[in-house]
Structure 1
Amino acid sequence: MHARSPKNFVLEERLERYATAIEVVPSAYRGRWAAACAPAGGTPFAAVHLDLGCGKGSYLVEAARLDPDTLFIGIDSEPVCIAYAAQAVCDARVPNALLIPGRADDLARVFAPGELSAITLSFPTPFPRKKQAPGRVTQVDRLLEYRGLMAPGGTLTLRTDSEPFLDFSMAQLAGAGWQILWTSAGLRADHPEIPASEYELKLSQEGARSLGLCATPGPEPTGEQVEAARNVPQSLFAYLPDDLYEGSYIPHGMSWAVETFRNRRANAARPGPLADAVVADRRGLTLLVRNALFQRVRLAARDQADELGDIDVEWGFGKARWRRVLDAFYEEHEELLTDADARSTAYFHINDADERDDHVWHVQQVFADSNGDHDFSIMADVDLDATQAGDGVVFSRYRVGVIEDLLEEGR
């Protein structure tokens, strides 16, 4: 779950206002969360439940309300989400919930072995491309780390809208020695006792079906098990269903891949493509590039410089550069729009003049700001050969900022 601050939202003020629900030095409580967070003079909490990637805290608060004897700890890497979740905890006055700013790869510093009774992963980012796979919270090495933190009989519950991500995660769980307790293709009907998050409800309105599983640590995995999990296909495109979601909901982050595969299948059925064509599937490649750029617009609209930097560091545009661009944008504009008009071809441009000679497209995605200035954009070249050979867009000369400055740089 990602969010950006709306108009008149001052992050530092919000974090300070709800600081009583936020622990900024969590390592100080490692191994003693249940006792240290118990009400004054009260008995320690019976269990500690981690909500990893808690978003705005709607699941965290409701779960804490339903189980007052358990301490619920929400972790999220996005400061805006921590601020919203902390407000939700304070407004609901649940004494058994708190927030920690942090990442999934830092849990051993926060929790001692055997300290967690449960971990919940609510609609984590699936990172569909192969090179993004290390960032998935269900990667086998992450799951091995979680094992060491679990109390006997502890559970890990995953909820998602993506069958490919669920299938990948099941292979990783097997490799890390977790035993599946249950799986569900209709979580709301099968397990109504699990509170729904705000993000889950939003997806359901778009036609998504909540999928899920619950697992517990089994016998210690062998080296062969772990290696087998590392060697399964890492691109989620390998787990797409044969019907390519024809006539049904497409999981978030997978639409451009599904459309590309549909076009490839259609083209394969047609006789006689030109042997010297640089682009085999022009419509599919255009959609691929367009969706890749608009993914960045959506993240920019949520002020997610860190995630943008993770995506674009390969093209030389890391977190610090994205942070400077977004700070400059929001100093001039109240909002970055992501509606249907912002996604239209009025803001997306392809110059294919060098397609045949250099096998590149020159592309631009203009930011649709609320003031109507349209003065910021992404500009890049697309390596057509590398993009068509891989599972994602390969950029070069990638840059983001004020359009006049970008044009000057390109001269």
Structure 2
Amino acid sequence: MHSSTLAVRTHRPVLLVAGILCIAASLRAPITALGPLLELVRESFALNASQAGLLTTLPLLAFAAVSPLAAPVAHRWGLERVLFAALMLLVAGIVLRSAGSAAALYAGTCVIGGAIAIANVLLPSLLKRDFPQHVARLTACYALAMIAAAGVMSAVAVPLHRALGAGWPASLATAAGLPLLAALLWLPQLRFRTTSAPGLSSAPASASVWKAPLAWQVAAYLGLTCFVYFAAIAWLPSILLEAGDSSAHAGAMHGWMQLAGAVPALLLMPLMQRMRDQRWISFASPALSALGLVGLMTLPALTPLWVFAFGMGMGAALILSLAFVGLRAGNQRIAASLSGMSQCIGYLLAAVGPTLIGFLHEAAGSWTVPLVVCTVLCVAMCGLGLSVGRAVHIEE
């Protein structure tokens, strides 16, 4: 980026940050909106449990498949343009998913996952380039926007279905409003790129990232976080129902866990700016989640407390995983390649998590074994956090 262009951008940070936050708000809501409506979707197309579960797995597989492609594409066409194209692709995927046929439902879900994957990868690179001194704080802000929008969309999906009177497709289609707003706010940024985005040349950085032990630590931390968190998203209501809770209480606890995940975004913003490194918080976050899981198994009478502790720990770990991309990268090019690598591995594990945990439950006949496995993975993350939290960088 030329210095004159950088000067123009840095004199207009409010519009740029608003665009970033609106993009972030678009990256989970289209997926979480489906959960409350899933039973209605199943009834419409007579889907069995496996076919319905595929609607959760497909976006995660798309994340893994598309993430490594984002940096080379951004290098060729420019980071701003590719982010705008991803928003338009996301709108198209949401509309296609709501077209009313089973084929469109699955195809639209894949398109949504691919579009989100591109923006997921490029946002950390954008922060590293334009706000190198504020990576941790802005990562926490966009994680908060992402989680809050997802929670709101989950809460309003069923009321919108009832209010609109046009079936679940109309309710799902309303999720297109977020990426449309983000695209409008992003339009002024398109004039800052014409052909290429300096610092995103993918080949050398990509090679160095895949060979760097620290990069694998970043990827492993994100991967384990995604595995445990998405398994909980998929199975927590079933775990609580089997323990004797009502469906209403199980649903409320599911929302409570997601709300807890937003708390660290507020707490980590001031903390991470003052830290010399992130070792203790990288250790404490999965430790808190492990405590929540152990409490859930041993003292179920305090379920709200344990669910909140688990959600808060996982929320903090997710924010740290995203922040590590910028904090551990030596430059913007490495940040883009590290983001693609870590999210590819992370979301492959996320796609495996719900299925493997469900299989363990069926094989064991109870939820104890799956919960113990998730606890062990959280403990492994504690050890990994002491290493990945060090203030070191991946260099070319």
TM-score where L is the length of structure 1: 0.24
Q: Normalized against structure 2, the TM-score is what?
A: 0.24
Where relative contact order (Cα < 8 A, 6+ residues apart) is larger, the structure is: 2
For the pair shown, the structure with the greater C-alpha radius of gyration is 1
Q: Greater strand share, 1 or 2?
A: 1
Question: Which structure carries more helix by proportion?
Answer: 2
